[in-house]
Amino acid sequence: MFLWGTATAAYQIEGATDEDGRGASIWDTFAHEPGRTSRGQTGDVACDHYHRWPEDVALMAGLGVNAYRFSIAWPRVQPLGSGQVNAPGLDFYDRLVDALLGIGIQPVPTLFHWDLPQALEERGGWLDRDVCERFADYAAVTAERLADRVPLWITLNEPFVHMAYGYAMGVHAPGRALLTGALPAAHHQLLGHGLAVQALRAAGAGQVALTNNCTPVWPASQDEPDLRAADAYDILHNRLFNDPVLLGKYPDLSAYTAELDFIRDGDLATIATPLDALGVNYYNPTRIAAPTGDALPFDDAGVSGYPTTAFGWPVVPDGLRELLTGLRSRYGTALPPILITENGCSQEDVPAEDGTIDDAARVDFLDRHISAMREAMAEGVDVRGYFVWSLLDNFEWAEGYDQRFGLVHVDFDTQRRTPKRSYHWFAEFLRGQNTDT
Ligand code: GBH
């Protein structure tokens, strides 16, 4: 069955950050620091999904999706990130899973969508190798509770973005600006992923995937320095997170560091534990030029000549086809089936006087990206699912509530949900699908 779904993440929608024994996460800490997020906004309330989840499940029933990708908040399950398990935290996801299954929607949980327990950050976060084992323990206790009903699991969401934004540039939690000093956070996430795959399988999870953010990399010109820079960027954004998992080896990281002493014997074998699927989040291609400074071996030259989303990101549907066929030619038979675990766009989405939201640009975006995915499938890429980011407008990290990605509009003063035109369009689209395409 081809999975058609929507995606969300715990910190972006749940709110209720102090309830039922939940511990603090790095995003609670970060969002409450002055100047970190747009207008100081936080996920304290977000979409209040923790209380309103039955309404949100009903919205998915109305949409007609057969799958829902959500994330489990580690600090709800283990408030301190290790040891003591908080039963009410697991109960919340247990109820959600049962409600989804009751209406024929397959739950697809992600174990880590950036909300590391704060107590682990105090021990070094993903820079500390010990966190890998803690992640595997958390995966095990969660799967022991849910694996009897949850067939497909995702370990990490976008370890590249977490490393780059959280540890290299410091614009996301935990707010560290270490540049290439962030590389151990890549290795430890990957090692934690591999250990979690093993823990999930031991606890009876059927299928396991990793979700990577991938981007086609376009050199700014065919000149040698631009080509070299584009290659270096491709290594950092794409290959650093795909090669070890699919091929059991790291790409050449010499443009970034000579020091790889955080990699130990046996790590790569763990990281390469076979997967049932690779999750791919696609937003846009990246255009790269030779560096003008010496901090990094590339400059982001920006893609121009395309329409943009409200966020300013270029809209390039064919980039999804290019990405998928590129993965297929790079990894060949080492590439497992692919799930598009996120694709979507932010738009202005101002309700009209009669309350309706006519997000024609989002309809066009989704329609064209789904077509691009199908072209890649026609070219032989094995894609098994597509999830729209996102079900609801939500807390868009450093941008707070300014960027709206939902099929459903949320009025953050009243928590009123209003399906946009794109919701009705997707519902109509899904009614026309048979389940194997
Ligand atoms: C995902 O990250 C996250 O998984 C999700 O939580 C988030 O809400 C969603 O996407 C929307 O942001 O500067 O034009 O080159 C996406 C990571 C990183 C993708 C920045 C687009 C830059 C676009 N994004 N990237 S551009």
pTM: predicted TM-score of the whole model, two decimal places: 0.98
Give me ligand 1 centre to Cα 91, in Å: 30
**What pLDDT was estimated at residue 107?**
98
Is 14 a residue of the active site?
no
Is 224 a residue of the active site?
no
CA 398 to chain centre: 15
| Model confidence at 414: pLDDT above 70 | yes
Q: Has residue 436 been placed in a domain?
A: no
pLDDT, tens digit, 9 for 90 and up, residues 102-152:
999 999 999 999 999 999 999 999 999 999 999 999 999 999 999 999 999
Q: Which residue has the tokens 């928590």?
A: 415
Take residue 359 and report the two structure tokens written for it: 């997000």
Helix (H, G, I), strand (E, B), or coil: what is residue 389? strand
pLDDT, tens digit, 9 for 90 and up, residues 12-29:
999 999 999 999 999 999
pLDDT, tens digit, 9 for 90 and up, residues 284-335:
999 999 999 999 999 999 999 999 999 999 999 999 999 999 999 999 999 9
User: Shortest CA distance to 209 belongs to which of 333, 328, 325, 108?
Assistant: 108
Query: What average pLDDT does range 362-391 have in this prediction?
Result: 98
Query: For residue 280, what are the β-bridge partners?
Result: 212, 340
Nearby residues of 393 by Cβ (< 8 Å), 6 or more positions away: 47, 349, 401, 404, 405, 406, 408, 409, 410, 412
| Model confidence at 436: pLDDT above 60 | no
**What pLDDT was estimated at residue 148?**
98
At residue 397 the predicted structure's pLDDT band, cuts being 50, 70 and 90, is very high
Q: Return d(Cα 390, Cα 343) in angstroms, integer.
A: 8
* Alpha helices (H) in 116-223, listed in sequence order: 118-121, 130-146, 159-161, 183-202
- Report how far apart, in Å, the C-alpha atoms of 428 and of each of 54, 131, 369, 424, 433 are: 22, 44, 17, 6, 9
Q: Has residue 403 been placed in a domain?
A: yes
Pocket test for ligand 1, best of 189, 213, 237, 303 (most atoms within 8 A of CB): 213
Ligand 1: which residues within 6 Å by Cβ? 9, 12, 157-158, 161, 213, 281, 283-284, 286, 313, 342, 389, 396, 405
Ligand 1 atom at minimal distance to the Cα of residue 405: 11
Q: Which ipTM was obtained for this model?
A: 0.98
Ligand 1 atom 18: residue of nearest CA: 161
Ligand 1 atom 6: residue of nearest CA: 9
- 394-172-140 Cα angle (round to 5): 80
Catalytic entry in 14, 121, 158, 322? 158
**What pLDDT was estimated at residue 258?**
82
Catalytic entry in 14, 121, 322, 342? 342
Take residue 259 and report the two structure tokens written for it: 């020091």
pLDDT, tens digit, 9 for 90 and up, residues 340-349:
999 999 999 9
**What pLDDT was estimated at residue 35?**
98
Task: Please state, for a pLDDT cut of 90, what percent of the chain lies above it.
Answer: 98
Give me ligand 1 centre to Cα 396, in Å: 9
At residue 101 the predicted structure's pLDDT band, cuts being 50, 70 and 90, is very high
At residue 228 the predicted structure's pLDDT band, cuts being 50, 70 and 90, is very high
Query: What average pLDDT does range 241-267 have in this prediction?
Result: 97
Give me ligand 1 centre to Cα 32, in Å: 21
| Model confidence at 279: pLDDT above 90 | yes
Give me ligand 1 centre to Cα 397, in Å: 10
Q: Return d(Cα 324, Cα 415) in angstroms, integer.
A: 37
At residue 435 the predicted structure's pLDDT band, cuts being 50, 70 and 90, is low
Query: What average pLDDT does range 46-73 have in this prediction?
Result: 99
The CATH number of whichever domain residue 395 belongs to comes to 3.20.20.80
Q: Has residue 437 been placed in a domain?
A: no
**What pLDDT was estimated at residue 434?**
63
Ligand 1 atom 7: residue of nearest CA: 396
| Model confidence at 182: pLDDT above 60 | yes
**What pLDDT was estimated at residue 224?**
98
Q: Has residue 411 been placed in a domain?
A: yes
Q: Has residue 58 been placed in a domain?
A: yes
| Model confidence at 239: pLDDT above 60 | yes
Count CB-CB contacts under 10 A for residue 343. 22
Domain span at residue 242 reads 3-431
At residue 351 the predicted structure's pLDDT band, cuts being 50, 70 and 90, is very high
Tally of structural domains, the chain = 1
Do residues 383 and 338 touch, judged by C-beta distance below 8 A?
Answer: yes
Q: Which residues are documented as binding site for substrate?
A: 12, 113, 157, 283, 389, 396-397
Ligand 1 atom 12: residue of nearest CA: 396
Query: For residue 257, what are the β-bridge partners?
Result: none
Ligand 1 atom at minimal distance to the Cα of residue 389: 9
Give me ligand 1 centre to Cα 343, in Å: 10
Ligand 1 atom at minimal distance to the Cα of residue 308: 14
Give me ligand 1 centre to Cα 326, in Å: 20
Pocket test for ligand 1, best of 389, 394, 396 (most atoms within 8 A of CB): 389
Ligand 1 atom at minimal distance to the Cα of residue 313: 14
Nearby residues of 367 by Cβ (< 8 Å), 6 or more positions away: 425, 429
Q: State the chain's mean pLDDT as an integer.
A: 98
